[in-house]
Structure 1
Amino acid sequence: MNLPSIVIALILLIIVWLYLDLTFGRKKHISLFQKRETPILYGNFDIFPHGKELFADYFHELKMARSHIHILFYIVRDDQFSQQFFEILKAKAKEGIEVRLLVDRIGSHKVKKPAINDLRAAGVEFAFSNRIRLPFLFYSSQVRNHRKISIIDGKIGYLGGFNVGKEYIDEDPKLSPWRDYHLKITGESIPFLQQEFFIDWNEYSSENVAVEAYTPKQPKGKIAHQFVPTEAGFLEKKYLPFLQSAKKSIVIGTPYFIPSNKLINELITAAKRGIMITIVVPYITDHMLVQEASYRYLRSMLKAGAQVFQYRNGFYHAKSIIIDDQLCDIGTANFDKRSLFLNKEINCYFYDAAFVDRFKEVIHKDILDSKPLKLEDLNKPNLFRSLKEGVAGALSFFL
């Protein structure tokens, strides 16, 4: 067999392996996932759209911890800001406070062995979530733990889009100011966040912690809400009835607009029946090809009569959906195929008109800081962009 034939055979073998790995890995993932969501609960919430304000509050609450700190992030960088975060955790552990830190294996790949050893030496319990595993190496490399959950003393929770790194506090010149939404939570749903943390912790650490000791009953708050963790395609099933229920309006904020066929078709159907649809996306991008992957879907939405706004005051990384001014979704999931079908995510759904009105002021500010995207802008001839769109379309499931 000559060299070209060997190369072709190897390429075909790799393609077949990738297909089988992805197909059977996904089937196993679906079979293992158990649907979990809270009933309607009541709590109190603060919204942080700016990283500096969020982390000033977050670090203060970490320093005030008296019992335990449990943290899950997708990304923790190896920079000066991350070191500040580590120093707080080490100081609390040395005080005798129980500190657990769980970070995604690939998202936090910059957290190296020396930093981990320092954390453990100080008493911080550390683990990587979603490590690459046999037998489905490719599939497991794609399923990321994109949740960002913190619980302090079983009384205060944080959840949202911010991670730990300098870009999130506006110290990356290209992506500053960074716009995101993060929630600070108190109330009766905090035990559920503890439970979700320990589901991931027990899977990937060497421990098997009984969560009951960390979930004392908390007093009710004022705002009706529901937490829904998703993975393995459940998010698409959650979104569809919400879109179908819309009677007046749908507002979507997302850094990556790469919906599934079912969701884009539902949005087009909603637009055609007179629902006002508004989509807010970034003008600049933080990842290669994600913008080009969104263009085909944004064209479809513009043709159907939707409004699309590109955020111009920095980088827009926020994730939200508002339906009819009655339902609001804020969480970790992007409106893209990776969040829909691959990543572990967790969102908070609000069923409180007063809170929705409060949040509308936040997203209205983002729309004022944006410029409309027109169909003619996307249809201008551009060979390089068209080539990138073709590549992005082929890879859109993994972007």
Structure 2
Amino acid sequence: MKFALVLIGVLLLIIIWLVLDFRLGRKKHLSQVKNLESPMLHGQLDIFPHGPELFADYFKEIKAAKQHVHILFYIVKNDAFSLEFLQLLKEKAREGVEVRLLLDRIGGIYLKKSSINELREAGVHFSYSNRVKLPYLFYSAQVRNHRKITIIDGKIGYLGGYNIGREYINEDPKLSPWRDYHLKLLGEGATFLQSEFLIDWRENTNENLLDRSNYFPDVPKGLIRHQFMPTEAVTLEGKYVRLIQMASESMIIGTPYFIPSKLLFHELIGALRRGVQLTILVPYTSDHILVQEASHHYLRVLIREGAKVFQFKNGFYHAKTIVIDDKLCDIGTANFDKRSLFLNKEINCYIYNPEFIGRLKSVLQKDMDDSRPLTLADLTKPNLFRSIKEGIAGIFSYFL
């Protein structure tokens, strides 16, 4: 009996600590955050929905780098493909190219210390981003740098949903083929991504490189108008609200995890009620526990209101996109979930070019053709185990 009381007391203290840690850490984070967006930029953009094609192009451009390669990923794993990537970075550093790799501390947990030592010995500048640190251990462990950006010689940029690991090149039997959207940018977009990388680098290393002109060469303007939206803490929610309110005819949301905030959920219902055709594309196969169950409550209501929901079946769907009418599309690193909305560092690209939007919509149509419609009957069929999982998912939806 005494042991049970002690155990209950310890558990209560842990819960109190976790709640205080999270609330105080979040309060501090919100006091420091800035709501940023780039000016309207012009450049040349390409989209890669297939990992093998993306990384063939990506590795080719890194091999051709002459001056500097700056890379930020959420995940680099410890498999053959990841080791090939790390070997390429070491080779470029030995050639005299400045190579910097910034990796999220939690997402980069797979990378061995020996691999990091080898990178540094070869001349690669390596740092973790968003380390778990005092005094708010629990909160800092939840705030991830989820951005995936690369800048080569200050002229070529990459941004999107792909990380480094075998699943991203279709070598994971459960999750293959992996479907994602990644941008390649030439022009002013590469310049902005360079500055964002160097801001994150300074924050995590105390090394300020923003005033070095060699990282910001003159670049030609392209024809595609676009903007970047770097976000963290709560700033993404407001940007998504404005996107939903812009829609007058149609909206497409592609996301691996559909767990909207209360505000976004009400905005989506409002859009449906004013006649906007809402289409949501999500995976059929899940790569994380409870994320599908967390979405069911929202999808039931939206389907009742007239939304169309598709579950992608030709592999795993990990893309992050929003298309508003034929006026704007958003491709980036943020999922349509509470972790991206309220915790993670993300960066999205708004694209205003009709030809590019048409190309993306063709990709989305192919993905919908490879999907099955999710019906209200699928979500309301009696299933006790699913209901239990949905209840648990609702409690922890902020952290999924």
Alignment of 1:167-246 (within 5 A): 167-205=167-205, 207-213=207-213, 214-246=215-247
Please identify, of 266-275 and 54-63, the stretch whose mean Cα deviation from structure 2 is larger: 266-275
Preserved CA contact (<8 Å) 1:225 1:351 = yes
Preserved CA contact (<8 Å) 1:250 1:276 = yes
After superposition, what is the alpha-carbon deviation per residue over 1:127-160, rounded to whole angstroms, capped at 9, x for unaligned? Answer: 1111101111000000000000000000000000
Match of 2:262 in 1: 261
Q: Which amino acid aligns with 1:382?
A: N
Please identify, of 307-316 and 189-198, the stretch whose mean Cα deviation from structure 2 is larger: 189-198
Whole-Å separation in 2 of the counterparts to 1:104 and 1:330: 21
Match of 1:88 in 2: 88
Whole-Å separation in 2 of the counterparts to 1:210 and 1:370: 45
Q: CA distance change for structure 1 residues 178 and 211 in 2, over 3 Å: closer, same or farther?
A: farther
SS in 2 for 1:378: helix
SS in 1 for 2:43: strand
SS in 2 for 1:174: coil
Aligned identity (percent) is 63
Match of 1:130 in 2: 130
Preserved CA contact (<8 Å) 2:38 2:228 = yes
Whole-Å separation in 2 of the counterparts to 1:211 and 1:162: 30
Q: Which amino acid aligns with 2:350?
A: Y
Match of 2:274 in 1: 273
Match of 1:142 in 2: 142
SS in 2 for 1:109: coil
Alignment of 1:151-162 (within 5 A): 151-162=151-162
Q: Does 1:107 align with 2:103?
A: no
Cα displacement (A) at 1:206: 5.2
Whole-Å separation in 1 of the counterparts to 2:348 and 2:233: 15
Preserved CA contact (<8 Å) 1:74 1:147 = yes
Whole-Å separation in 1 of the counterparts to 2:60 and 2:370: 30
Preserved CA contact (<8 Å) 2:253 2:281 = yes
Unpaired runs of at least 5, structure 1: none
Cα displacement (A) at 1:10: 1.4
SS in 2 for 1:201: helix
Whole-Å separation in 1 of the counterparts to 2:203 and 2:17: 27
Q: Does 1:347 align with 2:348?
A: yes
Match of 2:303 in 1: 302
What is the TM-score of this pair, normalised by structure 1? Answer: 0.98
After superposition, what is the alpha-carbon deviation per residue over 1:355-387, rounded to whole angstroms, capped at 9, x for unaligned? Answer: 111111111111111110000111011111111
Count how many residue pairs are aligned between Structure 1 and Structure 2.
Answer: 399
Q: Does 1:23 align with 2:23?
A: yes
Preserved CA contact (<8 Å) 1:198 1:211 = no
Match of 2:65 in 1: 65
Whole-Å separation in 1 of the counterparts to 2:252 and 2:100: 36
SS in 1 for 2:62: helix
Preserved CA contact (<8 Å) 1:195 1:211 = no
Whole-Å separation in 2 of the counterparts to 1:310 and 1:74: 25
Match of 2:391 in 1: 390
SS in 2 for 1:175: coil
Unpaired runs of at least 5, structure 2: none
Which runs of structure 1 show a deviation greater than 3 angstroms over 4 or more consecutive aligned residues?
none
Whole-Å separation in 2 of the counterparts to 1:225 and 1:210: 22
Q: CA RMSD in A?
A: 1.0
Cα displacement (A) at 1:191: 1.6
Cα displacement (A) at 1:211: 4.2
Please identify, of 58-67 and 16-25, the stretch whose mean Cα deviation from structure 2 is larger: 16-25
After superposition, what is the alpha-carbon deviation per residue over 1:259-278, rounded to whole angstroms, capped at 9, x for unaligned? Answer: 00000111011111111000
After superposition, what is the alpha-carbon deviation per residue over 1:322-347, rounded to whole angstroms, capped at 9, x for unaligned? Answer: 01111100000000000000000000
SS in 1 for 2:394: helix
Preserved CA contact (<8 Å) 1:330 1:347 = yes
Q: Does 1:312 align with 2:313?
A: yes
Q: CA distance change for structure 1 residues 114 and 206 in 2, over 3 Å: closer, same or farther?
A: farther
Match of 1:284 in 2: 285
After superposition, what is the alpha-carbon deviation per residue over 1:139-185, rounded to whole angstroms, capped at 9, x for unaligned? Answer: 00000000000000000000000000000000000000000000000
SS in 2 for 1:107: coil
Whole-Å separation in 2 of the counterparts to 1:167 and 1:316: 12
Match of 1:77 in 2: 77
Cα displacement (A) at 1:217: 3.2
SS in 2 for 1:179: strand
